Amino acid sequence: MAGDKNGDTQSFLRMARDLFRSFAYGGAPKGARRPRVGLALAGGFARGIAHIGVLRVLREADIPIDVVAGTSVGALIGAAYCSGASLEMMERLAHETKFTDFGRWSPSWLGLATNHRLEEFFARFTTVKRFEELQKPLAIATTDINMGLPVYFYGGLIGPPLRASCAYPGLFVPVKFEGRTLVDGFLAALVPVEGTFLLGAELVIAVYLEAGSVDEPRTFTDVLSRSFNIIQKHADLEWRQHADIIIEPDVSPFVWDDFSKTAELVRAGEEAALKALPAIRAALDSKTVAPTE
């Protein structure tokens, strides 16, 4: 059974690679300068596993990624990717993940749990601890809950900003860091396109994970999550105007904490990225600068 799934995945990726290469770079003049490509990864708890599928198709299709910005789980996967962790290891660890790997129930006036364990969880992917050690530049989006503004981190320690970016309001206690009280980046940077610009991106591929479920809420966290999802649907979506390409995996059938659906979530990311490949190629071509005589 597992062998069949692996074979299906390999065939799917070969098809993605072949499709992309039908739009090969051969038409670009020698010495042409391509744009600096940024990847903006949205949050979504377990649904964020779809990012792994997106990254896999981009890798197989030889799409260059120069800088990454991430919000919440997008920050976690972005940090692991920029550290050099393999997508295969990321998928394996995602399948094994449970809430207690990164959260500890500890009810207080500020939240139901703490996420100090997230730093230890990140250490399963890499020994990297500082932004400067990463193989690719990364910006992590957080929200200053007092100012109501996005705060991006792209230097110094990775751990505290990562925890802050994943500190879902009401569920996790806010993170105090560098004189600020920080919570989940999705509040002020739903899809952190701005973060890629801070790192010099000239072309931005954004990955958005829209949650949706027709099932009745099961727990307090379901109610909280649904409430924020409704706010997001009616929020300012200015980020869409600044992204060159938007990839939207269909993650609506999946609940926020269902890590057991890792294979299906990865496939959702692969399918959405495959569909976006022609548009990505066209965007790259349109922003490629011909060499001067």
Look up 11 and say whether it is catalytic: no
CB neighbours of 169 closer than 8 A, spacing ≥ 6? Answer: 111, 145, 183, 184, 187, 224, 228
Cα 15 to Cα 7, 10, 11, 266, 270, distances in angstroms:
12, 9, 6, 16, 11
Look up 72 and say whether it is catalytic: yes
Residues 88 and 9: their CA atoms lie apart, in Å, by 12
Burial of 42 (0-12, 13-18, 19+ CB in 10 A): buried
Residues 197 and 36: their CA atoms lie apart, in Å, by 10
Please pick, among 144, 184, 225, 244, the residue that the annotation labels catalytic. 184
Residues 205 and 240: their CA atoms lie apart, in Å, by 10
Structure tokens at 94: 């995602």
Structure tokens at 146: 């007092």
Structure tokens at 148: 């109501």
Backbone angles phi, psi at 130, to 5 degrees: -125, 150
Q: Which residue has the tokens 């490509």?
A: 37
Cα 55 to Cα 71, 163, 234, distances in angstroms:
16, 22, 28
Please pick, among 72, 83, 165, 225, the residue that the annotation labels catalytic. 72
Q: Which amino acid is at 186?
A: F
Active site residues: 72, 184
